[in-house]
Amino acid sequence: MRRMAKILAVRLSSLGDIVLTQPVIEALAQAGHEVELLTKPGHRALAELFPGLARVITSPAEASGGYAVILDWHGTLRARQWISQLRGAKIVRYAKHSWARRLLVRPGGRNVVWNAWSALHASVSVTEWYAEAAQRAGLDLVLREPRLVIPDLIQKQANSLLKQAGISDSDRWVVMAPGAKWPTKQWPKDSFADLAKRLDRELGYRTVLVGGPGEIPVCREMAGQFPARVISLAGQTDVPVLAAVLSQAPLLVCNDSGPMHLGVAAGTRVLAFFGPTVPEFGFAPKPSERVRVLARDLPCRPCSLHGTLRCPLGHHACMKKIATEEAFQVSEELLR
């Protein structure tokens, strides 16, 4: 589609999935198209950091209309209900590859015959699936890495928060996000604490812990072990301020979670741990000079699509076998 088109992209949640839309949104804007994003109200502030996005709306009632194409990048019943209220546009849905992903899952952590039937591989990307839907709509685009544009005011808020917490201009520091929505996706908190200790003792880096309200207890406990060198900002940052903090950090150490995607888009170096989930699902950042993923190739992985409350086999080896020593070595390489 060579002429300029007005496009509505629909991705209602969640944080990481929305970040993965950004490269396609910017590519469409650079091709001359006007792009609006329909998302849930809680994600408006994140989407407003996307370069190339003309407008963010949080309900069909806010839609300006006149869309040539609606890109359904969510595909749920809620998304279809919202889209049904907007008439006259061509609707193109992205291929979720749901069955291919489900075929990879090993129920109860045990290998089954249909695991071999999935055609997915480690280099697949949800961002590319979003782009493919746009291309089927006849829209031209050239993908780049995800990025955010953080206003000066938000950067100042992040700087003020760090100073109030005890980070001085002369300090060297890294960020750790020890949380994740599901417990099985979390690298052990003792491993995070040991890594923080080694980064301080051997490389001179303090640690700033981040997370939502649910991570306040674990971050407070970790900070209490090294009160002079580890601080917790858990529960103190909204998404834009967290992005600003990450943009200033030389390294983010995290699990397969929303902060992982936010860190990649904010431009920091990222070390991420994958346990019950695998890059073949399409949600992992692509490894590069500034992004590394650590995981263990075990016969029980992946045991679920999104993580679970507990390891189905009771050992949680996918995370426990990622050694602190290896994480330290990779962290040192990224910081170098």
276-317: per-residue pLDDT in tens?
A: 999 999 999 988 899 999 999 999 999 999 999 999 999 999
What CATH number is attached to the domain comprising 57? 3.40.50.2000
Final residue before a domain boundary, out of 112, 136, 160? 136
Does residue 112 lie in a domain region?
no
User: Looking at residue 217, what is its pLDDT?
Assistant: 93
> pTM value?
0.95
Q: Are residues 78 and 186 in the same domain?
A: no
pLDDT tens by residue, 265-286: 999 999 999 999 999 999 999 8
Q: Are residues 16 and 163 in the same domain?
A: no
Q: Are residues 170 and 242 in the same domain?
A: yes
Q: Are residues 131 and 192 in the same domain?
A: no
Does residue 163 lie in a domain region?
yes
Q: Are residues 88 and 162 in the same domain?
A: no
pLDDT, mean of residues 189-203:
96
Per-residue HEC secondary structure of the chain comes to: CCCCCEEEEECCCCHHHHHCCHHHHHHHHHCCCEEEEECCHHHHHHHCCCCCCCEEECCHHHCCCCCCEEEECCCCHHHHHHHHCCCCCEEEECCCCHHHHHHHCCHHHCCCHHHHHCCCCCCCCHHHHHHHHHHHCCCCCCCCCCCCCCCHHHHHHHHHHHHHHCCCCCCCEEEEECCCCCHHHCCCHHHHHHHHHHHHHHHCCEEEECCCHHHHHHHHHHHHHCCCCEEECCCCCCHHHHHHHHHHCCCEEEECCHHHHHHHHHCCCEEEECCCCCHHHCCCCCCCCCEEEECCCCCCCCCCCCCCCCCCCCCCHHHHCCCHHHHHHHHHHHHC
Does residue 292 lie in a domain region?
yes
pLDDT, mean of residues 144-168:
96
Q: Are residues 216 and 259 in the same domain?
A: yes
Does residue 118 lie in a domain region?
no
Does residue 162 lie in a domain region?
yes
Does residue 119 lie in a domain region?
no
Q: Are residues 66 and 129 in the same domain?
A: yes
Cβ atoms of 157 and 98 closer than 8 Å: no
* pLDDT above 80 for 232: yes
Q: Are residues 170 and 261 in the same domain?
A: yes
Domain hosting 62: range is 6-98+124-136
User: Looking at residue 25, what is its pLDDT?
Assistant: 97
Does residue 108 lie in a domain region?
no
The type of residue at 47 is A
Q: Are residues 301 and 166 in the same domain?
A: yes
pLDDT, mean of residues 121-150:
93
User: Looking at residue 2, what is its pLDDT?
Assistant: 58
Q: What is the Cα Rg of the chain in Å?
A: 20
Give the bridge partners for 8, in sequence order. Answer: 36, 70
Cβ atoms of 69 and 10 closer than 8 Å: no
Q: Are residues 128 and 243 in the same domain?
A: no
pLDDT tens by residue, 61-83: 999 999 999 999 999 999 999 99
Number of domains in the chain: 2
Q: Are residues 267 and 322 in the same domain?
A: yes
Which of 11, 298, 45 shows the shortest CA–CA distance to 157?
45
pLDDT, mean of residues 125-139:
95
Torsion of CA 82, 84, 88, 89, to 10 degrees: 60
pLDDT tens by residue, 19-40: 999 999 999 999 999 999 999 9
Phi, psi dihedrals of residue 7, rounded to the nearest 5° = -125, 140
User: Looking at residue 225, what is its pLDDT?
Assistant: 86
Does residue 317 lie in a domain region?
yes
* pLDDT above 60 for 1: no
Q: What is the mean pLDDT of the chain?
A: 95
User: Looking at residue 172, what is its pLDDT?
Assistant: 97
* pLDDT above 60 for 147: yes
Q: Are residues 213 and 288 in the same domain?
A: yes
